[in-house]
A and B are shown apart, each in its own frame.
Chain A
């Protein structure tokens, strides 16, 4: 993206969230259907902030949605009352989702960033 100088910005330093006007308010359009502008931070990447990453285990999840509500970075993807996965572009690896997960063993666990998700799922701990 071309960065504009201070005197090239629109007066008032306006940034747009969407490229085109939406017929409905954003709250009625799911993120995958939104015409995001490149100035929307949805298009940015903060995955490199992470040291540990949360890995999601579908088999243990009870879809309680605690992780969804307490995620500070909008990185838990939930559709139709079901938890689908983690958005690794926006997750900063804070670990709140793992802390609030109520299942035993937890259906979200923190692993080293370099561990592949399949390997992480293979070494999932047993029920305590």
Chain B
């Protein structure tokens, strides 16, 4: 087992040599690459990566270019988790038979699968569930931008109530998406996973801590990373970090972790809690909610977020 990379502060962190390259085709201001960089820079161990179909995959492997300076594989929409689980199983088998090449000696590669919320919440769910049941030593990172952004902004089961997407458009008769977001973090915790956490790129220190904790954990780790989408959430590209701040400070995306399926810890408590209204107001996909006839939905939002925060706090206090 190699030593964990020590990251005391941002200056020290900035000496990392990125294993993710620019001139990928992600939109300007996309949070996906911020998350990927933070995760890959959190370790000095070799990494084995896979990506489900989604923005990250189609934009970082456009023929004839690859943006990855590490082993990376893409198979299908649903199976980044099983692809990386297969690689992990093969590695273990070779290790057991003493057939690993010499260059692998003394190294402990990290197996990481990336998927968008479409690949995680909908299409790849069965596969991820299988991987977590089998208990592979891997990390699954969901880049949660709450929409199928790659194909033009269709709703996914991560899309929250009231968001206008191309398949749940807001207009005269509808306020947009009608179903609430699936609580994927709790579902993955219910698999009995040793470590499950929700992270946000703007809280980089919290994120690095959780990623490193995930790396040092044996078994399947699930990370839900909030990824603000400038194109589909409809805000200016330079506001990515500002909108992410609004999301974490309004507690729409509370940052917490769950160990061994039960022990919940809240890792970030905003000093100044921001009303959910500010978070919604910063994004074009929610602008119809500010019409008088839909204003009641904002109050419902606030209540839902407050209730969930209350629930998290009660669980943390009870330690279950």
- On A, residues with C-beta under 8 Å from B are 1, 3-4, 13, 15-18, 25-31, 34, 39-46, 49, 63-66, 68-75, 78-81, 87, 89-96, 98-100
CA–CA, A75 and B67, complex, Å: 13
Contact A27 B22, CB 8 Å, known A74-B37, A94-B240, A95-B238: no
CA–CA, A86 and B30, complex, Å: 18
CA–CA, A94 and B35, complex, Å: 16
Cβ contacts under 8 Å, A40 to chain B:
21, 65-67, 69
Q: Are A26 and B11 in contact (CB under 8 A)?
A: no
Q: Are A68 and B14 in contact (CB under 8 A)?
A: yes
Report the minimal beta-carbon distance from B6 to chain A, rounded to whole angstroms.
14
Q: Are B29 and A45 in contact (CB under 8 A)?
A: no
Q: Which residue of chain B has its CB nearest to the CB of A2?
A: B64
Counting CB contacts under 8 A, is B127 at the interface? no
Q: Which of A27, A41, A89 contacts B44 (CB 8 A)?
A: A27
Contact A45 B23, CB 8 Å, known A65-B10, A65-B11, A80-B15: yes
Cβ contacts under 8 Å, A41 to chain B:
21-24, 60, 62, 65-67
Q: Which of B13, B23, B69 contacts A44 (CB 8 A)?
A: B23
CA–CA, A61 and B238, complex, Å: 19
Contact A31 B17, CB 8 Å, known A26-B69, A41-B65, A72-B31: yes
Cβ contacts under 8 Å, B63 to chain A:
3, 13, 15
30 contacts between A and B (CB under 8 A): A3-B64, A17-B66, A25-B46, A31-B18, A34-B69, A40-B65, A40-B69, A41-B60, A42-B21, A44-B65, A63-B11, A69-B34, A69-B37, A70-B240, A70-B241, A72-B28, A72-B32, A72-B34, A73-B28, A73-B33, A74-B18, A81-B11, A81-B12, A92-B27, A93-B28, A94-B238, A94-B240, A95-B236, A95-B237, A100-B241
Counting CB contacts under 8 A, is B204 at the interface? yes
Rank and list the top 4 A-B pairs by shortest CB-CB distance, nearest first.
A90-B22, A95-B238, A94-B28, A94-B29
Counting CB contacts under 8 A, is B38 at the interface? yes
Q: Are B64 and A92 in contact (CB under 8 A)?
A: no
Q: Are B242 and A99 in contact (CB under 8 A)?
A: yes
CA–CA, A43 and B293, complex, Å: 52
Counting CB contacts under 8 A, is B309 at the interface? no
Counting CB contacts under 8 A, is B61 at the interface? yes
Counting CB contacts under 8 A, is B70 at the interface? yes
Report the minimal beta-carbon distance from B65 to chain A, rounded to whole angstroms.
4
Q: Which of B25, B29, B61 has the largest number of chain A CB atoms within 10 A? A: B29
